[in-house]
Amino acid sequence: MSKTRVGIINVTGYVGIELARLLCRHPGIELVSVTGRSAAGQKLGKFFPHLAGLNMTIEPKLGDVELAFSAMPHGESAAEIIPLIERGLKVVDMSGDFRLKNAAEWQLWYGHAHAAPDLLEKAIYGIPELHRKAISKTQLVANPGCYSTGAILALVPAATAGLTEPDIIVDSKSGVSGAGRALKLNSHFCEVDEDVCAYAVEGHRLMPEMVQEVGIACKGTIPKITFMPHLIPMNRGILSACYATLKMDKIPGNNPGEYIKKVYQDFYANEPFVRVVDDPPHTKQVQGSNYCHIYTTVDSRTDKLIILSVIDNLGKGAAGQGVQNMNVMLGLPETMGLDAPALYP
């Protein structure tokens, strides 16, 4: 079987280098081109010694590929992608440039006009568990945000079943790699170590992704999501705690906790990367993997549904899900190159 030629635009960030790590051992594709601006001309293995076995040079421009991952920053990726789409290449965009369908809303959250508003409707939001068929037919996948992925996978089964009221709270804690590789004061070791802080408390740009996708599951009801992200002193991982008021009249029997757990088990029964677990999950249980673990319970005193989800923000929250989307786009087995278990300890 011939292998698809794949490239990575901007390999030097955390998402780009995680893509390279996954793709270099992927049996269905050939990683043939990686780009980077400041590191152009350097050997990939010298810039990232853990990939010393790859005899590749970081190039200023993308080479001859059939599918490209764009790991450019938000707001810069669209300009790189436009000519690739015009050439007929398949593209997985790792930035936020194509995740929202409404150009005006995108401008509100990202601060400037969109470079390719005509492509927003054509791009498919890349959660395979929800949009697998559309992903298999598209040329452009908008890979979701890390926080968004964990929250959407946690909320959609209950929303699809019509079990919750519109008011939802998503409280998430992320490792520092989610802030990116560029130097920033608030991600320096002395600033982060022995500290936990909330940020973007007046609104985070990944929240509208949650509203968009959970709203689709709600079949017309627009959810009111309050999202509060936190930065915690670990490298990788996101734990999201989601809270929603149950519509108790929609729940049969006298054990709502068991009923809802069954709803989630049925929803994800055939999904290779989502596991409905029996105990509250830990981020270490998914570290380095493409898995999402979900736990549900009901607070009977307040009729609140509590859903916990954990993902690796660079795995299912970014590069792992990007490779999963690539597999679907290319008609490869969805788990190809991704079925390794989590790292432990």
Q: What is the DSSP letter of 133?
A: H
Rounded to an integer, what distance in angstroms lies between the CA atom of residue 211 and that of residue 328? 25
pTM score: 0.96
Domains and CATH numbers, the chain: 4-144+317-330 (3.40.50.720), 147-313 (3.30.360.10)
The pLDDT value given to residue 8: 98
Walking along the chain (345 residues) 10 residues at a time, the average pLDDT comes out as 94 96 96 92 89 91 97 96 97 98 96 95 97 98 98 98 97 92 82 94 97 93 96 96 97 95 98 98 98 98 98 98 98 97 92
pLDDT value of position 1: 67
Contacts of 324 (CB under 8 A, 6+ apart): 128, 273, 290, 334, 338
CA distance 90 to 65: 9
What does the pLDDT look like over 202-222, one tens digit per residue?
Answer: 999 999 999 999 999 998 789
Is 146 among the catalytic positions? yes
Could you give the CA distance from residue 69 to residue 4 in angstroms, rounded to a whole number?
13
Structure token digits, residue 137: 């037919």
Which of the following is catalytic: 24, 146, 190, 242? 146
Reduce the DSSP state of residue 181 to 3 states and report it: coil
pLDDT at 12: 93
CA gap 343, 283 in Å, rounded: 11
Q: Where are any strands of DSSP class E within the chain?
A: 4-9, 29-35, 58-59, 67-70, 90-93, 124-125, 140-142, 164-174, 197-198, 224-231, 238-246, 274-276, 292-299, 304-311
CA-wise closest residue to 208 among 191, 227, 195, 190: 227
Backbone φ and ψ for 91, nearest 5 degrees, come out as -135, 135
Q: Which residues contact 14 (CB under 8 A, 6 or more apart)?
A: 177, 180, 181, 314
